[in-house]
Chains A and B, each alone.
Chain A
């Protein structure tokens, strides 16, 4: 089972080697990096390339971890107990008729291997992360209500992403293989844009990339990332615009998202200039 890139996704050979190592070692792979470096996309690509089903847990700050495995539909069961389940086929006495499996539960119970993506894990509480890792490492969880162990039939390929807004705890990191995706170099970026827009004119590509990396270094609050660049190229190509440097940047709002950044770009900064008060 070896993972390859696809024609829509530029796969850095290093990243490919790393993913294949994590699969071979059956380790959860934690991918960190700035937004727009294709962390989440990677899971979709793995699933597509290996022709496996994908289960996604989109982490929220309120998640407790258990619902990633299962939830019990108590209200439905109460309702059935009171009014009868009639032809629904549910049996009030049977607990499992009222279990809704979460992404981890589905991945563990599936007869075929699945890819399990835990997206933006850093949004969750620290203890939730540790609990989840216990589950993923043992490849089993317990259904508390009936004290039954659910054991994975076949270990899923686990991919975890984090925007690294908060640091993850050391015990958590110790159990994963970790890889930080550095922001694509201009060389990588040429590949990426080329995959998305095979018909792009070389002059436009070069001029656009130059401006893009200049803007990234200009110290904006939210520097533009890959997805902004791709949208921008699309806008340029659809409108047949030329790129010139300086103040006449077309569609600046596609690259710069924060109001302050845009104002600054137009030279209307609201932010106090460094040292302004001193002179």
Chain B
């Protein structure tokens, strides 16, 4: 990548290093977005810091999950305020760099003494931290980027912004538009830098086209054909529309520590399934399937598997799990490790029932395929693979799984 500083000096575009900082934070910003942004500046859309903030967000941020990231980066770049990536009230604040920095600065300024640290409760420290942050955020001064502080401000670097950006003097909308001091979007922050565009494309190939519903679509070719045969007397031929009628069931193994290393990739898969399919149901289980699965990730709301088995048999099924467990979980009565799953029938029975009902069923396993014979729990993995078509949870594996699921029944 081109060094941002070098580019800035050469071309003299304002805020170019801000753009590169956003990219470094993981926002996918393209040249086109940047050009939009400069066009907006040229049109004079950013006549104060609030509007600049909004223009930048419109040009650079597409997903609400990244709004807070943008907010933090903006505050850091333009105003020198370092915000922690957590919401107010989140105890994880104590582990953030911003909190540590604030603490040492408060020491240095003498606002806090060594004794205070012991005397004050944790909550009180946190409260004081947020107080400082709020004061900074709401104040419209300070910062080393916006109102020129000598050379460190990139504003004024070029003639580009002269018309569009006003630094001093009143602005008619400043009082009305509060974009700072209020982090409304921190709850949406997903902090997931993963991109899964190719996963989405692969999943997008999974279709199940069926002619369904009333015959309402005019079959032009057949109509002309029939009409001709009918001696020119019009004979309309109607046919039902072809629609995608794919139903999808997804079972996620979210129990057990053996799945922990794969949380990120499982989440990515889930989010892509959510965006690619309209008609899907997701359930959760621990290690393997028993009489109940759960409709929530906390596994508190049980759903009988017998009920799910009543869904149409052309439903496509994904099971996502490492398939590694103690052998008795799979084959012994009352073998479940989690006692709320306790079931007189071994899990194997349930898997067989599922397989008998849904021919289109694939087990996606996040363990790399070359380890399938070696991992702890490989016995159950192979048992399950002999029962259910198993693919590795990788792009290629998903592609093969989609191909497998797209085969006609039979």
Contacts and interface: CB of A to CB of B under 8 A. Distances in A.
Interface stretch (A40-48, A74-82, A97-105, A111-119): A74-82
Contacts of A78: 223, 227, 234, 236
Given A178-B62, A274-B300, A18 B185 contact: no
A22 B300 CA distance: 45
A62 B62 CA distance: 26
Contact of B275 (A22, A27, A74, A167): A167
A66 interface: no
Contact of A271 (B58, B173, B197, B301): B301
B345 interface: no
A173 B63 contact: yes
Interface string B43-71: 10100001100110011011110010000
Interface stretch (B176-184, B317-325, B352-360, B374-382): B176-184
Contact of B40 (A25, A61, A272): A25
A18 B58 contact: yes
B177 A17 contact: yes
A271 B178 CA distance: 42
A25 B218 contact: no
B340 A278 contact: yes
B234 A182 contact: no
Contacts of B271: 167
A168 B271 CA distance: 11
A158 B227 CA distance: 43
B179 to A, nearest CB: 6
Interface string B218-251: 1010010001000011101000010110000000
A125 B64 contact: no
A144 interface: no
A14 B179 contact: yes
B177 A32 contact: no
A170 interface: yes
Nearest to B275: A167
B276 A21 contact: no
Contact of B300 (A177, A185, A275): A275
B62 A75 contact: no
Contacts of A179: 58
A188 to B, nearest CB: 10
B45 A25 contact: yes
Contact of B62 (A20, A61, A79, A174): A174
Interface in A166-186: 166-170, 173-174, 176-180, 182, 185
A74 B36 CA distance: 43
Given A61-B278, A79-B234, A180-B188, A169 B200 contact: yes
Contact of A166 (B227, B233, B275): B275
Contacts of A185: 184
Interface string A141-174: 0000000000000000000000000111110011
Given A78-B234, A82-B232, A182-B184, A25 B39 contact: yes
Chain B: number of interface residues, binned into ranges: 35 or more
A13 B173 CA distance: 9
Contacts of B63: 173, 178
Interface string B166-179: 00000001001111
B234 A174 contact: no
B204 interface: yes
Interface in B181-234: 184-185, 188, 197, 200, 204, 218, 220, 223, 227, 232-234
A189 to B, nearest CB: 14
Chain A: number of interface residues, binned into ranges: 35 or more
Interface in A54-82: 61-62, 74-75, 78-79, 82
A13 B176 contact: yes
A17 B61 contact: no
Contacts of B200: 169
Nearest to A183: B184
Nearest to A165: B278
Contacts of A79: 234
Interface in B247-281: 271, 274-276, 278
B344 interface: no
A203 interface: no
A277 B275 contact: no
Given A79-B234, A82-B232, A167-B271, A21 B244 contact: no
A158 B185 CA distance: 25
Nearest to A170: B197
Interface string A177-218: 111101001000000000000000000000000000000000
Contacts of B244: 125
A75 B43 contact: no
Interface string B286-309: 000000000000101110000000
A272 B340 contact: no
Given A18-B58, A62-B243, A173-B62, A25 B177 contact: no
Contacts of A37: none
B241 A62 contact: yes
B262 to A, nearest CB: 21
A126 interface: yes
A24 B178 CA distance: 21
A27 B55 CA distance: 12
A277 B341 CA distance: 11
Contacts of B184: 182, 185
Task: Pick from A25, A82, A174, A179 the residue with the most CB of B within 10 Å.
Answer: A25
17 contacts: A13-B177, A14-B54, A17-B54, A17-B173, A22-B58, A78-B227, A79-B234, A126-B276, A167-B274, A170-B28, A173-B62, A177-B58, A178-B58, A180-B67, A185-B184, A271-B301, A275-B300
10 closest residue pairs by CB, A with B: A167-B275, A180-B64, A173-B62, A177-B58, A13-B176, A182-B184, A274-B300, A13-B177, A178-B62, A82-B234
Given A167-B271, A182-B184, 8 more contacts: A17-B50, A17-B177, A74-B220, A78-B223, A78-B227, A126-B276, A173-B63, A272-B302
Interface of B: 28, 30, 32-33, 36, 39-40, 43, 45, 50-51, 54-55, 58-59, 61-64, 67, 173, 176-179, 184-185, 188, 197, 200, 204, 218, 220, 223, 227, 232-234, 236, 241, 243-244, 271, 274-276, 278, 298, 300-302, 340
